[in-house]
A and B are shown apart, each in its own frame.
Chain A
Amino acid sequence: MTYILKKKKINQVLKGWFKNYDVYAPQKVEDYSQFFRLTSADDLVLNEPHNTRFPPKALFLPQSESLLKYDRKINQLKEAIPTPKPRIIFGIRPCDAYAVTLLDTVFNTEEYSDPYWKTRRDATIIIGLGCSEPCQTCFCTTTGQGPFNPEGLDALMTELEDSYSIETFTEKGEKLFSDLLLASESQQRKAQEIQKKAVESMTPAFDTTNLKHNLDQIFDSDYWATISESCLGCGVCTFLCPTCFCFDIVDEVQRNERVRNWDTCMFRIYSQEASGHNPRPTRKERTRQRIMHKYSYWIDHIGEIGCTGCGRCVRFCPVGLDIRAMLRAANTFESETINA
């Protein structure tokens, strides 16, 4: 069903939700926006053309979270599985929502279901906001999704002049909006036009047809040395990435907690072994691992690229590395050396 939510009515709708749900929506921090729990509808930021700075994956996999608490003296442990109140994520972009479904394939497996991830996931309704004006750094259509991709969403909003058209896809989404007026034919048509225009405005950033094959072929080549030379080896791309999930498990002695924290394959100590041996001793191997994992090994695991084209790594890399250019170069690298 498609409903219409007038912009001036948003406050009312949100207040209604506050009674039964925690609502998480983008709010202003300094010059950017980030998902926080909304306490007042006035803090809502929905008018940015792009996604939030910090990825909403943190709402399911917090950057730091306690796995268990223990009492060293008597060696009893207390689980720290979260029991979140039912919650709504409001205004997430399709790239970030699809990323959450990709992460489900890591955390919600049959063999080992991650209870920390699962309780949050089960308690959450996800309302997306499509991107009417995709940025030049976005490449969600290249990775197989798009600025109005519905996957992973319970409902999707399209911004019209003074309202949002809201298409519901699941029962959970339907329940939230069924009190609103249905969208008229012309309103639905307008929304579809906006969506179509947004998709058409995006050009392919790199060719994915043989990408995995090309990357696998050049694994042992010089390609990685060239592209990783200016890479700082910091964690910006991995921490801001909505599909990166690597974490470290640490015992925080002073708080008697076993914690898990986001980690990154870009750090040297990530792969450092107790014997001192490091299978990825230089930046070259580490940059290679990041790209191979995201664009080749993810395909081995679930048949899809592990990237949703959100563009954060392009916008915030401190040295201006652009993964799209790196992948275009990877696609053509082998043929260059053959012709050389």
Chain B
Amino acid sequence: MSEIKGKLKSEIERLLREDIVDVVIAFRKEDSPLRPQPAFFRNTDELTNLEYNSLCQNNLANYLTRFPHDTRIGIVVRGCENRSVNALIVEKQHQRENLFLIGIPCHGIVDIKKIIKKTGEEVTEYSENQDEITVLVKGQKVTFPRKELLHDSCLRCVHPNPVDADVLLGDPLPEGDPSIARQAVKKIEAMDRDERYAWFQHETERCIRCYACREACPMCYCTECFVDHAAPRWVESDVSQGGMQAWHIIRAFHQTGRCTSCGACERACPMDIKLTYLTEKLNDDIREVYQFEAGMDRETQPPFASFNLDDKKRFVI
């Protein structure tokens, strides 16, 4: 890991020194334990703050839509992030020529909530290698196998390698097993209608409409989100069952064919809602019906965002 960080630092130094980019989006050291932050590097002397490890839990592609298209941006991308970048390019939210993708094959993001569940919140230090995570809690060192702490989305990951990086730091990793991704969906499909509704209710009733999921998602970049539209008001504004359920379902549907299963939404949620259960189902359906996965290349249009004369017209006729 520290080897990757060293390579990353050199690469970012090069990009800035040789004026290849105006800004590099990466991560910086934590202010509070276990929390490295997304950061924007414009000068090489800022790089003493650079961080890269499995605690870097945000999808950096989210920040691309904040910059004008003519900004030359370097960005650290892991598997799902690269696909998010591609998905944004397909939707014309940025231009590939102005981006420099620093690819890092990903061993998975560690879910801080899983660490805290096992050790409590008083973690003061963290270290990792490919197989193990070690934390210091109240003076005691505790070690866990990496797999035990990976975020659920990463356990299901099929594409850990950046598909379109300009430079690759680290050796490519084997692709994941798509049937594992299916398992999460199968579990809910196995429930009967009442059980499913109870699950859905249980997950949505905790929602506090903070929209952290929306703001953490690279594909939610609409200048006016449907929930904010007030005249007419499409969705109830209050924390009523109807309002929250509508919010969850409609946001998931707006992600159909665009979501790259990065799990950033779930990690951002302060109420521990397992948001990906909806998007994973829709991703699964799109894979099955259209053989499509978002962001695997820079050209293919997502099935629900494009129209082709060859499209099946069964629903019309």
- Judge A-B direct contact (beta carbons within 8 Å): yes
Pairwise interchain contact B211-A235, C-beta atoms closer than 8 A: yes
A-facing residues in B234-287 (Cβ within 8 Å): 236-240, 267-268, 270-272
Q: Kindly provide the distance from the CB of A163 to the nearest chain B CB, expressed in whole angstroms.
A: 23
Pairwise interchain contact A53-B238, C-beta atoms closer than 8 A: no
- Among candidates A30, A137, A252, A254, residue contacting B32 with C-beta atoms closer than 8 Å: A137
Q: Kindly provide the distance from the CB of B131 to the nearest chain A CB, expressed in whole angstroms.
A: 25
Q: Which of B81-89, B118-126, B147-155, B304-312 contacts A (4 or more CB under 8 A)?
A: B118-126
List B contacts of A267 (CB < 8 A).
Answer: 211, 228
- Among candidates B121, B206, B216, residue contacting A232 with C-beta atoms closer than 8 Å: B216
Query: With the chains together, A240 CA to B40 CA distance in Å?
Result: 27
Over the window 255-284 of chain A, the binary record of Cβ atoms lying under 8 Å from chain B Cβ atoms (1 yes, 0 no) is 000010100100101000000000000000
Q: Kindly provide the distance from the CB of B225 to the nearest chain A CB, expressed in whole angstroms.
A: 9
Query: With the chains together, A135 CA to B113 CA distance in Å?
Result: 16
Pairwise interchain contact B237-A252, C-beta atoms closer than 8 A: yes
Task: Please give the number of chain B residues whose Cβ is less than 8 angstroms from any Cβ of chain A in the complex.
Answer: 42
Q: Which of A211-219, A301-309, A312-320 contacts B (4 or more CB under 8 A)?
A: A312-320
Q: Kindly provide the distance from the CB of B3 to the nearest chain A CB, expressed in whole angstroms.
A: 24
- Among candidates A239, A254, A319, A322, residue contacting B58 with C-beta atoms closer than 8 Å: A319
Query: With the chains together, A30 CA to B206 CA distance in Å?
Result: 10
Q: A32-B272, A63-B208, A230-B39 are in contact. Are A248 and B237 (CB under 8 A)?
A: yes
Over the window 139-177 of chain A, the binary record of Cβ atoms lying under 8 Å from chain B Cβ atoms (1 yes, 0 no) is 000000000000000000000000000000000000000
Q: Kindly provide the distance from the CB of B54 to the nearest chain A CB, expressed in whole angstroms.
A: 14
The prevalent SS among residues of A at the interface is: loop
Pairwise interchain contact A315-B121, C-beta atoms closer than 8 A: yes
Pairwise interchain contact B239-A235, C-beta atoms closer than 8 A: no
Query: With the chains together, A320 CA to B271 CA distance in Å?
Result: 16
Q: A234-B211, A234-B216 are in contact. Are A252 and B236 (CB under 8 A)?
A: yes
Query: With the chains together, A30 CA to B116 CA distance in Å?
Result: 13
Pairwise interchain contact B214-A230, C-beta atoms closer than 8 A: no
Over the window 224-240 of chain A, the binary record of Cβ atoms lying under 8 Å from chain B Cβ atoms (1 yes, 0 no) is 00000110111110011
Does B91 sit within 8 A of A, measured CB to CB? no
Q: Kindly provide the distance from the CB of A202 to the nearest chain B CB, expressed in whole angstroms.
A: 13
The prevalent SS among residues of B at the interface is: loop
A interface bracket (residues with beta carbon within 8 Å of B) = 35 or more
Q: Kindly provide the distance from the CB of B226 to the nearest chain A CB, expressed in whole angstroms.
A: 13
Does A31 sit within 8 A of B, measured CB to CB? yes
- Among candidates B36, B40, B122, B233, residue contacting A229 with C-beta atoms closer than 8 Å: B40
Q: Kindly provide the distance from the CB of A232 to the nearest chain B CB, expressed in whole angstroms.
A: 4
List B contacts of A259 (CB < 8 A).
Answer: 237-238
Most buried by A among B208, B214, B238: B238
List A contacts of B211 (CB < 8 A).
Answer: 234-235, 267
Q: A64-B238, A136-B33, A320-B32 are in contact. Are A29 and B216 (CB under 8 A)?
A: no
Interface residues of A (CB under 8 A from B): 29-32, 49-50, 53-54, 63-64, 135-137, 229-230, 232-236, 239-240, 248, 250, 252-254, 259, 261, 264, 267, 269, 314-322, 324-325
Interface residues of B (CB under 8 A from A): 30-33, 35-40, 58, 62-63, 113, 117, 120-122, 124, 206, 208-212, 214-216, 224, 228, 230, 233, 236-240, 267-268, 270-272
